[in-house]
Amino acid sequence: MNFFAHETAVIDDGCQIGEGTKIWHFSHIMPNCTIGNQCNIGQNVVVSPGVVLGNNVKIQNNVSLYTGVTCEDDVFLGPSMVFTNVTNPRSGVNRRDQYAKTIVKKGASIGANATIVCGHDIGEYAFIGAGAVVTKHIPAFALVVGNPARQIGWMSEYGHRLEFDENGKAICPESGQEYQLLQGKVSRIN
């Protein structure tokens, strides 16, 4: 094994787990998952069949990733946040053929106890506040909070709120990276 799994973790057959990944206490990695390099999967995490995690994904304790979820590289999932995978679940109705896909793009962060309703993608470096309930697609670099989640600003790749000037330009105070806000979208200035 080129990854670490705590003795209480359960890893089913058919999983691909990358080098340097750590899987902690009481987590269950179900069949046919793909987990990248250098991931950290906290305590009591469930990764359902077919879930795909990129490299350097950090998953805090008590998170459930259901079939249909893909997280790209450098995604952060806060404690007890959850994804759904069916829009109208019923115990007595089998809807396994109706799982909706959700993609969390590179560098996005999802706060503690947030809920991502299936079929709504999270843009690159977006920041979902603790307890938010996401019910629509979230653009790259967006800062969203509340139930339902609403956008209140923009975030840099380093996780700092961006303050745009009259020309639609902002600078991350930590990295010095410049950003442009144009027609409701943020992009890095190279």
Tell me the average pLDDT of the chain: 97
Among the listed residues 119, 130, 118, the one whose alpha carbon sits nearest the alpha carbon of residue 60 = 130
Per-residue model confidence as pLDDT tens digits over 119-153: 999 999 999 999 999 999 999 999 999 999 999 99
Specify the fold of 1-87+98-155.
Answer: UDP N-Acetylglucosamine Acyltransferase; domain 1 (2.160.10)
Are the beta carbons of 146 and 132 closer than 8 angstroms?
Answer: yes
> What pLDDT score does 146 carry?
98
Read off the pLDDT band of 1 (50, 70, 90): confident
Are the beta carbons of 155 and 141 closer than 8 angstroms?
Answer: yes
Are the beta carbons of 49 and 68 closer than 8 angstroms?
Answer: no
Per-residue model confidence as pLDDT tens digits over 58-100: 999 999 999 999 999 999 999 999 999 999 999 999 998 899 9
Q: Would you kindly state where each structural domain of the chain is located, as residue ranges?
A: 1-87+98-155, 157-190
Q: pTM to 2 decimals?
A: 0.96
